[in-house]
Amino acid sequence: MAKLEDIDPRVLVIKKRLKVVSEIIPVMSSKGGVGKTVIATTIALLLARKGVCVGLLDLDITNPSTHIVLGINPASIVPEEEKGVIPPRVHGIEYMTIAFYSKDNPLPLRGTEVDEAIKEILAITRWGRLDYLIIDTPPGLSDPVLDVLSYMDKISPVIVTTPSPLSLKSVERLLFMLTEAGITPKGLIENIANKPSERIIEITKKYNIQYLGNIPYIENLDIIITDPERLVKSDFAKKVDSIVSKLVEANK
Amino acid sequence: MHEWALAEAIIDYVSKVLRERNAVKVKRLVLRIGKLQTIDKEILVFALNNLAKEYDISIDEIIMRDEEITLKCRKCLTQWTLSPSQLPEDIREAIHFVPEVVHSFTKCPKCGSRDFDIVSGRGLSIESIEVV
Ligand SMILES: [Zn+2]
């Protein structure tokens, strides 16, 4: 006879929900404002246009913003329920965000609550068969983020940074912590950089990860950022597309 | 239905316990049901029984204990409770799926802060499981 106390039954089911996903790519950054959300969403949009089965999951719980890049109002969408929640299809992407439930209201949560909300979303969302699940993660490597990663197998994060001297130290810290947690990033993207910078390349060599490419500063990005049709045709997307090719290439 | 997703999580866990303990059946399964998540118990039991059959698991008794909602302000330490039935349906639904979004829709009745803890009554957990 076994008697156990106070079990959270969600953890097991999370692994099962993610079994249908071939590869999970959390897009991570050590700092906010480096373009992580736009890059994550653009990667998903470009993969969908290539006919790849792709999902996009916004786990930036207190500040979800992928829906802005997708140009949709999350309060107007109620995901279909079928023994869980079926992610609605947006621009060919299976899409899930907490903004469907917070209705885009402010959601001030502390660390443990962020963790709870993430677990709930992962436990209820029933993804279809996906080649890639792209995840927009909260900036920095907080405990909740590390927890998220621990619920998943098959993860290969993509790191986004800028060449700013302020970013160098923190991106290295992020890489160090990931390595320590036994997670190997798929590669690093240098954003807002007109050319690859030596220091960043040095860091990728040190941690033995792929330098996926640089994305120059693009002047009108803020204007096209909420219009997916224009976004995917932009110079920004062209740069991201060459990075996507490398991501897909690595799997062949 | 969210209840099905939760039931699946419970049955997955139960089958793991049965395997690990080399047990043949569940004598008693005690679930704690936080009221914030407004779980439909009828659907939950229906889903549990259906999934148990599918997994070839026998459960003699399922007990469900309600847990009252207690919220506590981190600023002024006021404690209060909430009646989900008084919330508009779409908000109740949203909280049903992800209880943490209650922070988007409720404030401390005394000081108006959204910085509060859900002390009890959040959602579903397995209080105990007896197998033989
Ligand atoms: Zn208060």
Residue A30, both tokens: 């050590």
| CA–centroid distance, residue A198 to ligand 1 (Å) | 51
Q: Is the pLDDT of residue A56 over 90?
A: yes
Q: Is B74 helix (H, G, I), strand (E, B) or coil?
A: coil
Q: Is the pLDDT of residue B123 over 60?
A: yes
Can you tell me the distance from the alpha carbon of B88 to that of A218, in angstroms, rounded to the nearest whole number?
44
Residues whose CB is less than 8 angstroms from the CB of residue B106 and which lie 6 or more positions away in sequence, other chains included: B71, B82, B114, B116
Across the interface, of A84, A108, A120, the residue whose CB is closest to B98 is: A120
Of B126 and A142, which is predicted with more confidence? B126
Instruction: Of A188-197, A214-223, B27-36, give the lowest mean pLDDT range.
Output: A214-223
Q: At A1, is the pLDDT very low, low, confident or very high (cuts 50, 70, 90)? A: very low
Structural element, H or E, at residue B34: strand B26-34
What pLDDT shows up at residue A2? 45
| Single-letter amino acid code for the residue at A186 | K
Can you tell me the distance from the alpha carbon of A130 to that of B5, in angstroms, rounded to the nearest whole number?
20
Q: Is A70 helix (H, G, I), strand (E, B) or coil?
A: helix
Q: With an 8 Å Cβ cutoff, are B9 and A113 in contact? A: no
Q: At A11, is the pLDDT very low, low, confident or very high (cuts 50, 70, 90)? A: confident
Residues whose CB is less than 8 angstroms from the CB of residue B118 and which lie 6 or more positions away in sequence, other chains included: A113, B36, B69, B70, B71, B99, B100, B102
Within its chain, how far is the Cα of A165 from the centroid?
24
Residue A20, both tokens: 């249908």
- Computed over every residue of chain A, the mean pLDDT equals 91
Residues whose CB is less than 8 angstroms from the CB of residue A209 and which lie 6 or more positions away in sequence, other chains included: A159, A175, A184, A185, A186, A187, A188
Query: What residues of chain A, 100 to 119, have a C-beta less than 8 Å from chain B?
Result: 100-103, 105-109, 113-114, 116-117
| CA–centroid distance, residue B71 to ligand 1 (Å) | 10
Of A7 and B61, which is predicted with more confidence? B61
pTM, 2 dp = 0.93
Residue at token pair 């700092």: A31
Pairing of strands B70-73, B116-120: antiparallel
Stretch A62-83: mean pLDDT? 94
Q: Is the pLDDT of residue B97 over 70?
A: yes
Stretch A23-48: mean pLDDT? 94
Stretch A71-83: mean pLDDT? 93
Measured between CA atoms, the residue of chain A closest to residue B114 is A108
Stretch A3-32: mean pLDDT? 85
Q: Is the pLDDT of residue A6 over 90?
A: no
Residues whose CB is less than 8 angstroms from the CB of residue A84 and which lie 6 or more positions away in sequence, other chains included: A17, A124, A125, A126, B1, B2, B4, B5, B8
3-state helix, strand, coil in chain A (%, to 5): 40, 20, 40
What pLDDT shows up at residue A142? 76
Stretch B79-87: mean pLDDT? 94
Measured between CA atoms, the residue of chain A closest to residue B116 is A109
Q: With an 8 Å Cβ cutoff, are B100 and A13 in contact? A: no
Count the neighbouring beta carbons within 10 Å of the beta carbon of residue A51: 9
Q: At A3, is the pLDDT very low, low, confident or very high (cuts 50, 70, 90)? A: very low
Stretch B109-129: mean pLDDT? 94
Can you tell me the distance from the alpha carbon of A196 to that of A198, in angstroms, rounded to the nearest whole number?
7
Structural element, H or E, at residue B128: strand B124-131
Can you tell me the distance from the alpha carbon of A96 to that of A87, in angstroms, rounded to the nearest whole number?
5
What are the tens digits of pLDDT across the range A160-203? 999 998 888 899 999 999 998 889 999 999 999 999 999 999 99
Within its chain, how far is the Cα of A250 from the centroid?
18
ipTM given for this complex? 0.89
What pLDDT shows up at residue B128? 93
Helix spans in A80-197 (H): 99-102, 111-124, 143-150, 165-180
What pLDDT shows up at residue A9? 85
Q: Which of A114, A54, A127 is nearest to A84 (CA)?
A: A127
Q: At A242, is the pLDDT very low, low, confident or very high (cuts 50, 70, 90)? A: very high
Alpha carbon separation from B78 to A110, A179, B38, B53 (Å, rounded):
18, 43, 23, 46
What are the tens digits of pLDDT across the range A119-145? 999 999 999 999 999 999 988 877 777
Count of CB pairs separated by less than 8 Å, A with B: 120
